[in-house]
Amino acid sequence: RDFNERCAQCSEVNWGLTDGGRFYCRSCHNVTERTREVVNTDFISNTRVQTISKSLRKQEKTDKGCEWYVCEGFQLVLKKQAEALEALGVCPQMKDEILCNFWRRYLQKSKQAYCNRPAGETVKALSVCDSSTDVDSEPETPSLLHFLSLSESEGDLQTDCSFASSASKMSESTSVCSGSVDGSLYLMKNQKEKLRMTMPMTLSLCYMALLWLREPMTLSDLLRFVVEGHIPYLNFFQHFPEKMKLCGLDLKIFYVESWPVYEEVYKKMLELAAFLDLPRFPDITDSCFLHPDMLCMKYLMEANLPDELHTWTCRVVKKICIGEADFLTLVPGNKSTRNVKYDVLAAAVIVVVLKLLFLLDDHYEWLLSDFAGERNKNNKEGGPYFEFKKWYKVIKCSLDVEQKKLDEERAKYLWRCEKPLFYSAKNKSKVLKRRQMVVNLQNQFGKLSGSVRPAEKPHPSSFQLSWSEENTDGNCFHGHSLKGILQEKRGLLTAMNPDYWLCTVKLCNEKECGHLAHYREVDFPQSYHFVLRLFSFLLRIQPSSIHDEVCVIEHKLFNKKLCKKPRYNTVLRK
């Protein structure tokens, strides 16, 4: 009654009081900044106290963040990784059709969603409930389980709500150890039986989806894009929404402190495929990029080797029947078939062909190179003959430079994320101020030391080393001829070299030591080690992995001539 000013919007004088003590217009509902002075404390003070306490509860809830489950965090990781792969040119259906269905199947198999939980089961496993039992929950916060475009026609989440309510009641005790509701339960030992999801396993799921679609991206390419930052993986939790608070055990789940390992990701992919009971994958035919003939062509180009070598790699692939669809296609859970690492297989085939033609014993290849060099001096017509010595010098120079650059980038990598972690509004300003101070000091010391800011990363490419025949420096060997090392016999071109040495006479039991053959650099010729080192860099794997595959191919190629040969350098007649 005492407030007689006209409303700024409708010019009416018809004021009421909000719960917060402010004036609002009953005609147009305009709320002003003016508040009424407290006259009757018995009436107004109670209202003000209730309003303040309500505001504090909201603030406390905002600081604590919303309730979220570990599987929701991994679903967000998969969503971002799928979007990054789609930006790199992967088929758009990978995310919403393939990867999404794999993820749903995993949630169902691990009994986290899409299942009816048995009655009376104790709260030991993970679960997600799409309806909250908290009275003060905010309905406007959507569940992260809908980020992957889940359609209603394919079924809704069917989980035991009593479990979710029990987990919500337990969240007060587990919030000390983790920000998520089930962070402490997720790391319990009994979860290992259900193939607990980890950050490396997200890459396994992505590669499994790529393999199902037969996309032109090998596992080595996928992991390299991860290391280069094109696919989110390292320090991913900085992409989490503000309401998803991470602390304690959550960091142990989502914080990555090492580069992804090829063998680990591949092994988990096989375990996931068997765990999900997936059917036979689509056939890998000779028209697919993952076929050895296709990949050999790619790696020959990247290794700057003559194009004519591709004919020999195709002959080896056909000879030992590793280009058949039954051999290349993944059949989950089938222990009778050997699982194929497509990129490693193609690299090993090239190594075997180089041994067939150049022997790689630190002697014969140099003799052939000298012979080809003399022919090139007198050869004025046609393409030049391939010189192994010249190729070795060119590749070694480029390889040393690229390896040094890679080592420096890994050594300088800052494992601490750019986005600081804070768990309450009280410490937020201090953490941000401290982080800004660190950034300023880094910039100042960088200027004093003369260090240059790294340039933006170029667009990702499948080729790490590129060679062009248009260069006049003669460093491209794609068009060089192999005539200097070949001879015609019975209408077919065969190698002048009649001998071959085996890497190993007997293969080991892979289950016992983890390798089919043991590899030590000092036990083998330097030329052979250099070739392994080259493909090890291109695939970002250990040379021993390629060596294992080389041994397997050799035993298939010379399976009739392996008796009574006691040493690794035993000479075989082709």
- Longest CA span, the chain: 115
How close are the terminal C-alpha atoms of the chain, in Å?
109
Taking the C-alpha atoms of residue 64 and residue 66, their distance in angstroms, rounded to an integer, is 7
Q: Please check whether residue 276 is in contact with residue 201, taking contact to mean a CB–CB distance below 8 angstroms.
A: no
Question: Using CA atoms, how far apart are residues 40 and 1, in angstroms rounded to an integer?
Answer: 14
Spatial contact of 104 and 114, defined as CB atoms under 8 Å apart: yes
Which DSSP state fits 564?
Answer: T
Q: How far is CA 295 from the centre of its chain?
A: 20
Residue 488: its H or E element = strand 486-489
Question: pLDDT value at position 13?
Answer: 82
CB burial readout 169-195, b (16+ within 10 A) else e: eebeebbebbbbbbbbbbbeeebeeeb
Separation in Å, CA 557 to CA 114, 125, 361, 550: 49, 50, 19, 10
For residues 359 and 500, is the Cβ–Cβ distance under 8 A? yes
User: So what's the pLDDT on residue 176?
Assistant: 45
| 0.85 exceeded by pTM | no
- With tokens 């070949």, the residue in question is 486
Region of 319 on the Ramachandran plot (φ > 0 left; ψ -120 to 50 alpha; else beta): alpha
Q: Are strands 571-573 and 499-501 parallel, antiparallel or unpaired?
A: antiparallel
pLDDT at residue 471, as a whole number: 62
Which tokens is 467 given?
Answer: 């060679």
Q: CA–CA distance from 479 to each of 131, 304, 382, 470, 535 (Å)?
A: 66, 10, 10, 11, 21
pLDDT at residue 428, rounded to an integer: 64
Which two tokens mark 418? 């750019």
For residues 574 and 555, what is the distance between their CA atoms, to the nearest angstrom? 13
Token pair for 11: 């010019």
**What integer pLDDT is reported at residue 48 of this predicted model?**
42
3-state secondary structure 253-302: HHCCCCCCCHHHHHHHHHHHHHHCCCCCCCCCCCCCCCCHHHHHHHHHHH
How confident is the prediction along the chain (574 residues), in pLDDT tens digits per residue? 667 788 877 778 888 877 667 777 877 767 777 766 554 444 444 444 343 333 444 444 445 568 888 899 999 999 999 999 999 999 999 999 999 999 999 999 988 888 775 333 333 433 333 333 333 333 333 333 443 343 333 333 444 333 344 444 444 444 445 677 887 788 775 555 678 899 999 999 999 999 999 999 999 999 999 999 899 998 887 788 878 877 777 878 888 888 999 999 999 999 999 999 999 999 999 999 999 999 999 999 999 999 999 999 999 999 999 999 999 999 998 887 888 999 999 999 999 999 999 999 999 999 999 988 888 888 767 778 999 999 999 999 999 999 999 998 888 777 776 666 655 556 667 777 777 787 788 777 777 766 655 556 667 888 888 887 666 566 889 989 998 788 887 778 888 888 899 888 888 776 666 677 888 888 999 999 999 999 999 999 999 999 999 999 999 998 766 654 444 444 554 5
Q: Are strands 492-495 and 486-489 parallel, antiparallel or unpaired?
A: antiparallel
Place of tokens 């969503």: 79
- 239: Cα separation from own chain's centroid: 16
Q: Where are the beta strands (DSSP E) in 287-373?
A: none
